[in-house]
Amino acid sequence: MARDTIDSSPIDGIEALIDWFQAGSKPVSDWRLGTEHEKFAFCTASLKPVAYDGPRGIEALLRGMEALLGWEPILDAGRIIGLVDPTGGGAISLEPGGQFELSGAPLSDLHHTAIETAAHMAQVREIATPLGIDFLGLGFAPTWTRADMPTMPKSRYAIMTRYMPKVGNLGLDMMYRTCTIQVNLDYGSEADMVAKMRVGLALQPVAMALFANSPFTEGRPNGFRTFRGEIWHDTDGGRTGGLPFAFDAGFGFERYVDWVLDVPMYFVKRGDTYIDVAGQSFRDFLAGRLPGLPGERPNMGDWTNHLSTVFPDVRLKRYIEMRGADGGPLEAINALPALWVGLLYDETALADALALIAGWTAAEREALRRDVPRGGLATPFRRGTVGDIAAEMVAIARGGLARRARRNAAGLDETVYLAPLEEIAATRRTAADIMLAKFDGAWGADIARVFADHPV
């Protein structure tokens, strides 16, 4: 999230929160996609992460981007922490360890997303290269320890950093040492939301396997294809997971609201001040019983800020966020939205995807979440493997994109962006598998080679 919300509109009970989600429904003609991608910034001379301060730091990078783009700065206690396009386009923000993120504009098709991503990387490198900064496209920092990671001057991150060790062992690693790619997609109605959430939640581990790209920790293989995926199992069980209740009869906006109300809060923002209420209940806040702000009731800004602090595999806002993929290079950044747009934005593909997951039990879905980070595409599932499901998933997505028939100036439709995933599904070799083979072979166990071989 690029900027925490200030919206003083009062909340008139739980029904208003349900209506808030309902207001996100859009006709098919208005559906868009917004791609978000994070990348590790590193110093080309030392291969260390980039500090915030200094003439060659993250602050200097942001100020350079501000001058180049003319975007408005986002400030926290007077320090720049991001940029936002004043015309309603995208935004640039920082993750806790300085991971540099583009939250893309809502766009009509994947061709425009590919142009946006390529333009962003060209622009950011125009500023970063003279500063001696480059970018790494992986899901987990391959060499850096927690102690190596810088901190960004963002108030909500200070609150989260204090709270995370109380609710899990790997939450700080999630904050400071991971990167992801995600796509945000629209829904047409409550029923459409339910169908898309169920497909997204059931197939998120399969997408995680396809995009597995984090097999190293502190210079050595860590035993996982996606260590980033493993981290989510020990981050904060109160706000993460596969949302098994989404598969219950009667699931809808009201049930999701009911869950979010009981997810522990991090903060309340009043003006420019962040009030630490970590661990306290939004449900109590709604009733005027929040210990940190006794007698005060929340507004809609508080609600939208709280929604940004829940981290399920698929997150519902006034759109749906697909959150399972490791960070990666440009081709992966384009492939991730292609996969989900193909599955979810075509009526036939969505029906086929629902048929694919029909009959999967809650235990099977949870087993996929548990086992895929280590096993990747080779993870056993029913009579086959996750790789078999991945091949079906990619084929359904191809059909959906072909039927959308959105073509670029060269006459190519959106299926071109699935090519990397089709190769992975065919060969059963992910980015993680290829890196591990290089580490044992051409790299001669020299993990420093990853910085040159895996740029964004």
- Please state, in angstroms and rounded to a whole number, the distance separating the CA atoms of residues 224 and 219: 14
The continuous run of DSSP H or E covering 312 comes out as strand 311-312
- Whole-number pLDDT of residue 1: 46
For β-strands 100-103 and 91-94, DSSP reports them as: antiparallel
Which segments in the chain show pLDDT lower than 50?
A: 1-2
Burial class (CB in 10 A: 0-12, 13-18, 19+), 178: buried
What are the C-alpha distances in Å from 390 to residues 31, 66, 68, 319?
25, 41, 41, 24
Decide: helix, strand or coil at residue 89. Answer: coil
Hey, what are 120's tokens? 């962003």
Please give the DSSP secondary-structure letter assigned to residue 134: E
The CA-based diameter of the chain, rounded to the nearest angstrom, is 64
Q: Phi/psi zone of residue 112: left (φ > 0), alpha (ψ -120 to 50 degrees), beta?
A: alpha
Q: Which helix (H) or strand (E) holds 36?
A: strand 33-43
The C-alpha atoms of residue 304 and residue 236 are separated, in whole angstroms, by 20
Nearest by Cα to 41 from 32, 52, 30: 52
How many residues does the structure list for the chain? 456
What would the pLDDT profile of 20-73 be if each residue is shown by its tens digit?
A: 999 999 999 999 999 999 999 999 999 999 999 999 999 999 999 999 999 999
**Residues contacting 445, CB < 8 A, separation 6+:** 439
Domain residue ranges in the chain: 14-453
Asked if residue 181 lies in contact with residue 211, where contact means CB atoms within 8 angstroms, the answer is yes
Tell how strand 100-103 and strand 33-43 pair up: antiparallel
Neighbours of 192 (CB within 10 A): 19
Q: For residue range 378-396, list pLDDT tens digits in order.
A: 999 999 999 999 999 999 9
Q: Give the Cα separation of 34 and 26 in Å (integer).
A: 15
Do residues 35 and 111 lie in contact, with contact meaning Cβ atoms separated by under 8 Å? no
Q: 386-404 and 419-427 helices cross at what angle (nearest 10)?
A: 150
Cα dist. 40→54, 87, 414, 433 in Å? 18, 27, 28, 20
Tell me how crowded residue 206 is: count the other CB atoms within 10 A of its CB. 27
Cβ contacts of 157 within 8 Å, gap of 6 or more: 96, 151, 175
Contact 431, 332 (CB under 8 A): yes
What does the alpha-carbon distance between residue 438 and residue 447 come to, in Å, rounded to a whole number? 10
For domain 14-453, the CATH class is: alpha beta
Side chain identity, residue 63: R
d(CA 184, CA 204): 14
Distance of CA 398 to the CA centre of its chain: 22
Q: What is the DSSP letter of 385?
A: E
pLDDT score at 4: 75
